[in-house]
Amino acid sequence: MRSYPFKDIESRWRFYWDEIGLFKARFDGFRQKFYCLDMFPYPSGELHAGHGRNYILGDTLARMKIIQGLDVLRPMGWDAFGLPAENAAIERGIHPVEWTRSNIAQMKHEFEQWGTGFDWEREVSTCDPDYYRWTQWLFLELHKAGLAYRGEAAVNWCPKCGTVLANEQVIGGACERCETVVSQKKLAQWFFRITDYAQELLDGLDELTDWPEKVKVMQRNWIGRSEGVDIDFPLEAGGKLSCFTTRQDTIYGATYMVLAPEHPLLDEIMQSGASRELEEFVERERKQSLARRWEPAQEKVGVFTGRNAINPMTRALIPVWVANYVLFEYGTGAVMAVPAHDQRDFEFATKYSLDIKEVIVPGGKQPGEALSQAYEDEGVLVDSGPFSNLFSQEAREKIASHMEEEGTGKRALRYKLRDWLVSRQRYWGTPIPIVYCQTCSAVPVPEAELPVVLPEDVAFDPTGKSPLLDRKDFLGATCPRCGGKGRRETDTLDTFVDSSWYYLRYPTPRDKKRPFDRELVNRWLPVDLYIGGVEHAILHLMYSRFITKALRDMGHLDFSEPFGRLFAQGMICMDGVKMSKSKGNVVSNEYLVERYGADTARLYTLFIGPPERDAEWTEKGVEGAHRFLGRIWNQVTEFCARSDAAAPAPAAAESVRASDQVALRRKVHQTIRKVTDDLQSFHHNTAVSALMELSNEIRSYTRGLGRSATDPVLKEAVVKFVQLLSPMAPHIAEELWRRLGGKESVFREPWPTCEEEALKEDSYLLVIQIDGKLRGKITVPESTPEAELVALAKAEGNVASHLEGKTVSDTVLVPRKLLNFVTR
């Protein structure tokens, strides 16, 4: 395989860039700023070719911006708290701090190997007390503003280990450690009131024009705004049952009702004597772990409660059931079931032989034979009393108004978004700065006493119980309000809290007095480009947007959205499976750098496919990229060698040369435009192809004419080529740049600009005849294909009017001169 001495050059140039501070943000206020942020990684210690994509894409664009003279801020840090570190501690006896630190060192080394340039002086780590004291500050600010509160919530509980489990620690309904069946337990927990911002979080999406549509759709669905009606169904035995529906147009088809297992009406029913079957069902469902309830493909099961309700429109008596497919957390925790028009209800009704009544039909149809599935679309109402024959949409309005007049229902607006549960019953996280006191209850720790430091010398219980519970010195605290004896909060914050504000810290990462500098942050944000995986499309981005808006309302910031442009890259796969350590299909960085060099890994990663799509990694592809760089190396070094020889240009080729030169210049400037646009718009793969094309043209130009290096057109082509290559394959480009005579770094040279003049093509005058008579003339570019010439000629004003009403039977083209239309 064609190769080149990458080992000699790569580390040398990396060292040099470091030395000249190429990636240091200047903060001089003179230049246009460019804040380029990669989602900071969790320090799992695992970085492979798949992860590389994220950082290499960003690095390429950031390098172009540096060359273009912008003040580029490109920091890196670590989302360092979390469960895996704690598990490593429990399983392998390594302290989370050690585990985290050694992983960070390893990953930093790999970042360096890729040649991805970060401003390392701004590095932050969320597990560092200098960082988390400000995460605690954020908690206190939210608390002050009434946006942090304590409430009850169900958690997954392992009765054997005596610990709370995260959803990912529950495997098939059992504890991942001891395999005991997990149950639900209510605990007092901390929440952030993100639901106060539901509408703003929704509206804000419309302004984020540089976000991928699919991410915005995911956010919209997560917020889940629904307009509908809360309808009261009278109960036969007295009282009423309220349910939320978005399809009040189907109410005449409501043939039964369903309660969530947690619904309070069930407590009442069970107190006054219920069937064994009902009691067992409710008890079992209520205990079932949260993790299982949220699994989507569950078999729908339920039990009749023994009670009936009255459909307020038809006055029919309908049975009330309890079932596992209704969630207590949404709406009123009860639904009116319309099996003919809701698939879940349809399946349930079929299984338990409940009535199915069709009340909506597609326009023009009449209800025919029995349905084989629910008809969920809108349509025309039938069998619906005075509302029959209306279309769904109009019927919904009329029925809602009717119910409001009668007092049987009320229009309601609901969101699926829940408040953000931020307490974790775990050790390795930011301690929540709260002290509990007998007299004053939950008291915030005063800001001056921050940070509440997480004790590091602790022993880990194999059951996963938080070691903080055994630390008397940590637990014991004086109440900040009354000075009495208190107990410190042992819950820590969800790691999403740590990552919800880190982008504000980078401008002033070492500030001991404030979490961020308001003025600088207002200048540097929103982030100009945020790059990360689509797996963060919902939670991390939603939480960060919420925190930004909350901080703005508390008077700390002047902007509303943290990330102006978002790019979500596709995954790197091998044999169709996502590259990951657990799948055992990773390509290590060490291997790539050792065997092919960083530039090859980078170029291949950029070329592998459209960045937003998943791509299949192949060794063949890596080799291809390496061969390409090898060819470039030879091409440019040979050019340099001949330039020393300074052979005179062969005079014989002079005439050909002129048009050849024009063509090569055109290609060079077309490539400048294409690469510039493609890198800016994240089409890195086509930017690489454009360079490949240019390299081919340079070669045939050189070969065909045996030209000397003194040819200024060839020289321009080679020089610009190296410059355009530099953001993508920086090491080889820097080396070749020096060999071409560059005195300073190629990254300190202005970015090539496209000369419009060079793009212009030669053109000629085409004469147009109809049946041999001159009817018009047009000027067309050299390369216009025949079909296009015919179309252009027909469209010419005079020609068009003479052709009217005639049929062209033949066209005769005399190339570069004349086009004749023959008519019948």
Cα angle 287-419-498, degrees, rounded to a multiple of 5? 105
Of ligand ANZ, Zn ion, none, which one sits near residue 482, judging by CB under 5 to 8 A according to partner kind? Zn ion
Tokens of 450: 């921050």
Kindly provide the residue ranges of all beta strands, DSSP E only, lying in 451-511, ordered along the sequence.
476-478, 485-488, 492-493
How near is the Cβ of 367 to ligand ANZ at its closest, in Å?
15
Of 348 and 751, which has the nearer Cβ to ligand ANZ? 348
How near is the Cβ of 347 to ligand ANZ at its closest, in Å?
13
Q: Are 42 and 513 in contact (CB under 8 A)?
A: no
Stretch that binds ligand ANZ, among 307-315, 330-338, 491-499, 578-586 (CB under 6 A): 330-338
Stretch that binds ligand ANZ, among 324-332, 421-429, 729-737, 744-752 (CB under 6 A): 324-332
Of 247 and 540, which has the nearer Cβ to ligand ANZ? 247
Q: Is 541 exposed, middle or buried (0-12, 13-18, 19+ CB in 10 A)?
A: buried
Of 484 and 741, which has the nearer Cβ to Zn ion? 484
Stretch that binds ligand ANZ, among 45-53, 163-171, 188-196, 323-331 (CB under 6 A): 323-331
Site for ligand ANZ in 195-234 (CB under 6 A): 226
Of 247 and 669, which has the nearer Cβ to ligand ANZ? 247
Residue 250: CA count within 13 A, CB half-sphere:
29
Of 90 and 336, which has the nearer Cβ to ligand ANZ? 336
Of 253 and 562, which has the nearer Cβ to ligand ANZ? 253
Quick check: 691 binds ligand ANZ (CB under 6 A)? Answer: no
Q: Are 451 and 129 in contact (CB under 8 A)?
A: yes
Quick check: 330 binds ligand ANZ (CB under 6 A)? Answer: yes
Of 314 and 685, which has the nearer Cβ to ligand ANZ? 314
Of 484 and 815, which has the nearer Cβ to Zn ion? 484
Residue of 119, 342, 711, 734 that binds ligand ANZ (CB under 6 A): 342
End-to-end CA distance of the chain: 63
CB under 8 A, 24+ apart: contacts of 790-795: 790/819, 793/766, 793/768, 793/819, 793/821, 794/821
Nearest to 679 by CA among 61, 71, 117: 61
Report the relative pairing of strands 492-493 and 485-488 from DSSP bridges.
Answer: unpaired
Quick check: 327 binds ligand ANZ (CB under 6 A)? Answer: yes
Of ligand ANZ, Zn ion, none, which one sits near residue 287, judging by CB under 5 to 8 A according to partner kind? none
How near is the Cβ of 482 to Zn ion at its closest, in Å?
4
How near is the Cβ of 143 to Zn ion at its closest, in Å?
16
Of Zn ion, ligand ANZ, none, which one sits near residue 342, judging by CB under 5 to 8 A according to partner kind? ligand ANZ
Report the C-alpha dihedral over residues 510, 512, 513, 515, rounded to 10 degrees. Answer: 50
Q: Per-residue DSSP letters for 615-678?
A: EE--HHHHHHHHHHHHHHHHHHHHHHHHHHHTPPPPGGGHHHHHHHHHHHHHHHHHHHHHHHHH
DSSP lists the bridge partners of residue 171 as: 174
DSSP lists the bridge partners of residue 151 as: 189
Site for ligand ANZ in 225-284 (CB under 6 A): 226, 244-247, 250, 260
Q: What is the total count of residues that contact ligand ANZ (CB under 6 A)?
A: 17
Q: Are 694 and 722 in contact (CB under 8 A)?
A: no
Of 226 and 580, which has the nearer Cβ to ligand ANZ? 226
Q: Is 767 exposed, middle or buried (0-12, 13-18, 19+ CB in 10 A)?
A: middle
> What is the binding site for Zn ion (CB under 5 A)?
437, 439-440, 479, 481-482, 484
Of Zn ion, ligand ANZ, none, which one sits near residue 440, judging by CB under 5 to 8 A according to partner kind? Zn ion
Residue of 67, 158, 336, 541 that binds ligand ANZ (CB under 6 A): 336
Helix (H) or strand (E) holding 409: strand 409-415
Report the Cα 464 to chain-centroid distance in Å. Answer: 32
- What is the contact surface with ligand ANZ in residues (CB under 6 A)? 226, 244-247, 250, 260, 326-327, 330-331, 333, 335-336, 338, 341-342
